């Protein structure tokens, strides 16, 4: 009796460890580089939305409409009409890629203290 009880506990312990290990795994984070291409409105947490026609990241999605002001947001500016472009995929500028890697909040950073990303947006960074 005692031996079968030990086996059941060992099996339960192994199953719970496996379940907990599965919960802690994260999907791999894709590095933002000027050598890769990204689709319009590709979102990076802590950085913003990629605007393919402008090769940079911005606070709002491309052609975001603000109902209060009746204006559209694109490339870090507001316009009376949506921006029209055939570009829907492009590579970010070197500066935009560096900015994205520096301020993204979906990367676990090690070391002492804490990394303060804060999730705040400080402005667009394009070409």
| Strands of the sheet with 56-58, listed across from one edge | 43-44, 48-51, 56-58
pLDDT one-digit tens code per residue, 60-106: 999 999 999 999 999 999 999 999 999 999 999 999 999 999 999 88
Q: pLDDT tens for residues 8-62?
A: 444 444 444 444 445 545 556 678 999 999 999 999 998 999 999 999 999 999 9
pTM score above 0.75: no
Element (H, E) at 79: strand 77-79
């Amino acid at each position: 009796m005692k031996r079968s009880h030990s086996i059941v506990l060992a099996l339960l312990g192994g199953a719970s460890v496996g379940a907990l290990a599965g919960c802690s795994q994260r999907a791999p984070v894709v590095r933002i580089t000027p050598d890769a291409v990204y689709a319009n409105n590709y979102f990076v947490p802590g950085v913003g939305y990629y605007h393919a026609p402008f090769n940079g990241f911005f606070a709002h999605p491309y052609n975001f409409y603000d109902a209060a002001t009746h204006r559209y947001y694109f490339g870090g500016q507001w316009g009376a009409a949506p921006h029209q472009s055939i570009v829907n995929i492009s590579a970010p500028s070197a500066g935009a890629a560096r900015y994205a890697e520096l301020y993204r909040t979906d990367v676990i950073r090690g070391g002492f203290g804490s990394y303060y990303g804060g999730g705040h947006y400080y402005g667009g960074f394009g070409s």
